[in-house]
Structure 1
């Protein structure tokens, strides 16, 4: 019965099993019975059973129903409670959307986005919602006088749900999801799974800032039941720690195993030759940004600039933290970088040589096709050997901040981060005894290096002068320039993914 004090709570017996089904929000139309998984719809004071919902799969998320916290809305700290969850699956992986109950009886959404979190609320578009195919990935459009860029236009489907829900797309039926992002970090999503399409707007949030209570405790996350199966290629045992993992590699034969369709006889694999040995072992803990991160995945990627035939390579380590999600540690000949997918998108016109993000200007350094050539470990998106994207890498005037744009089918992802010194990386993983292996081209300038005297400087200048004479002689004798700067594509920096 309805609560006469608040008129926000309604409870009725499930038409499937008789267990109580509760609605806290007036916006909740649907609910999933926690006992028999019946999907029910509220019609006045009567619940009607309309089917059965697939059970949600446990994943790496620390969130769960009943968890509560506070969120700054319109300058005020507003409490909320998680009362429902929908799990979606798209071409780039799967994700959760949690329904958050607010004191005024309305619902907001706490989404898990690229290992980060985004808090959104329903909002009008200010005009008729265009057809999904009108939003081309990479284009810019204005909403209420504010510029957004289209970051995503892909097909997704509802795979499971629990708790109470304001809307419900048909289970397993594909629909279009469009996301627009602004340069100040705002996200605007259009869900075409219902009629009319649902619109949400919001910003990225850090879980620590939400002051949440009732999260999964550390023990329950650590002791999650791991999936075990035999490799479809060599038969060796394979253990998967995170239930959200979409692909992994066999520890014996290094084959890539596709888990996006579940564990069973339908599993596909791809054999990998010429294995690459990660310098930082899977499972190792490194401390960055005051938190401890675990290496859960590694991939080697290759790149080539348009019209060129010289390939360059770099490594990417996928790091995981229970509350902060995922970040990437990138190892290239230019040095080390710590990056994460951005929630917002810089103001950028396709093909431009510069862009601006969070008040900082960035200049284009490289544009190239990137291809995944070797992977090991677990990944929260389906990794395929030979997977390609088109990347554009930008750098701030200081050379410390980096920005990368990756374009794949149906999605454009931006990643942002900073270059870090090799000493920092070695210290983070307690591998200072192997510091020489971490050194890259990010060493200090020669003249500012400690302990260099005048005699050394003069000697260096003489050597440089002799080299210039030799290069000049070679150039004049060949009739054309045979020299290529090592700062071109050879130092290619990558964002390290950016998959939903």
Structure 2
């Protein structure tokens, strides 16, 4: 594999395009997104510093998928329009494949780009509806629209296989199907680009270590803060991922912005006591999980209100899981 060595057009520092499929490389000295064109290198602007998300992945990690080895060569971090971030990792395979490994809430989705089916016109972004079945996808896949949204390119590292422009807005739709089948429609191109794949685990990817040799192990612990409404103490058990928290003293709903709290509104005192206390830990098939939140929900059917409880579980190395309790069943 030939390596293109050049100088960053912004700061003059050395940059390398190790993969022939890479379009952009992030300068390790000034964080400029450097794109290669037919004639020259182009500075697309500086990316922000990556937010520490506690991801077990890192550039340089190697794995195997369906007998083919790969290496993680790039990472992009995007801001969701509803708040929070997610990571996309780019896997360069030894046989020339290029994979997208999305990471969100402790789950991983590996997908590959597929050409559109000839003669099939996909629905426009504005006409997509949640639950809508998308017909005519490659591989005879029949998937449903699970989410549509906008994201902003925030930070990046390593090599990126598309023209990532800092601050640019990206429109996409996530699709889901049976048995963990997953897809994405990228509407920043016309017609939209199609990515299909599966939900996977690190074990499926043959990743036996969760950090590159040069990476120091980092873990964000719980944060002790004070409510801006009543000044009472409260604890964030996942401070790097929490977006909302309820004060246990005055029952105020608070917004969490990178560890800074702001008052949103006062909630009614909850009418239920969680069966599992907040902060309790238990052993699950994936590992030890801690209860960091609980809520009671209900639905009205033919004039009768039915209640159930949901417990949010968390482990920094596993992510989030929901434990549902309804009619004495879990």
CA change 1:191–1:228 in 2 (3 A) is farther
Deviations 1:401-450 (A, max 9, x none): xxxxxxxxxxxxxxxxxxxxxxxxxxxxxxxxxxxxxxxxxxxxxxxxxx
Match of 1:90 in 2: 81
CA change 1:303–1:212 in 2 (3 A) is same
Match of 2:132 in 1: 139
Instruction: Kindly state the Cα deviation for residue 325 of structure 1 after the two structures are TM-superposed.
Output: 2.7
Match of 1:41 in 2: 35
CA change 1:290–1:150 in 2 (3 A) is closer
Q: TM-score, normalised by structure 2?
A: 0.85
Q: Which runs of 5+ in 2 are unaligned?
A: none
**How many angstroms apart in 2 are the aligned matches of 1:175 and 1:50?**
16
Deviations 1:150-186 (A, max 9, x none): 2222233223222211124544444421122222432
Equivalent of residue 104 in structure 1, options 80, 95, 101: 95
- 8 Å CA contact 1:27–1:106 kept in 2: the answer is no
CA change 1:15–1:228 in 2 (3 A) is farther
2:243 pairs with 1:253: no
Q: TM-score, normalised by structure 1?
A: 0.58
**How many angstroms apart in 1 are the aligned matches of 2:70 and 2:15?**
20
Instruction: Kindly state the Cα deviation for residue 24 of structure 1 after the two structures are TM-superposed.
Output: 2.3
| Root-mean-square deviation over aligned CA pairs | 2.8
Instruction: Kindly state the Cα deviation for residue 109 of structure 1 after the two structures are TM-superposed.
Output: 0.8
Whose strand proportion is higher, 1 or 2?
2
Equivalent of residue 271 in structure 1, options 263, 266, 269: 266
Match of 1:292 in 2: 288
2:115 pairs with 1:124: yes
Instruction: Kindly state the Cα deviation for residue 99 of structure 1 after the two structures are TM-superposed.
Output: 0.8
Match of 1:150 in 2: 145
Match of 2:22 in 1: 28
- 8 Å CA contact 2:252–2:263 kept in 1: the answer is no
Deviations 1:260-311 (A, max 9, x none): x54558x342222313432323332211226222222222212212x41x32
**How many angstroms apart in 1 are the aligned matches of 2:27 and 2:10?**
8
CA change 1:59–1:239 in 2 (3 A) is farther
2:62 pairs with 1:68: yes
**How many angstroms apart in 2 are the aligned matches of 1:35 and 1:44?**
24
Whose helix proportion is higher, 1 or 2?
1
CA change 1:219–1:273 in 2 (3 A) is farther
Equivalent of residue 79 in structure 1, options 69, 79, 84: 69
CA change 1:80–1:288 in 2 (3 A) is same
**How many angstroms apart in 1 are the aligned matches of 2:6 and 2:74?**
17
| Range with bigger deviation, 211-220 or 10-19 | 211-220
CA change 1:60–1:249 in 2 (3 A) is farther
> May I ask how many residue pairs the two structures share in their alignment?
321
2:48 pairs with 1:58: no
CA change 1:83–1:158 in 2 (3 A) is same
Instruction: Kindly state the Cα deviation for residue 20 of structure 1 after the two structures are TM-superposed.
Output: 2.5
**How many angstroms apart in 2 are the aligned matches of 1:167 and 1:215?**
26
**How many angstroms apart in 1 are the aligned matches of 2:319 and 2:260?**
28
Deviations 1:111-132 (A, max 9, x none): 1245311111111121444421
Match of 2:277 in 1: 281
**How many angstroms apart in 1 are the aligned matches of 2:235 and 2:59?**
28
**How many angstroms apart in 2 are the aligned matches of 1:10 and 1:79?**
22
Match of 1:313 in 2: 307
Equivalent of residue 231 in structure 1, options 220, 227, 233: 227
- 8 Å CA contact 2:111–2:196 kept in 1: the answer is yes
- 8 Å CA contact 1:285–1:295 kept in 2: the answer is yes
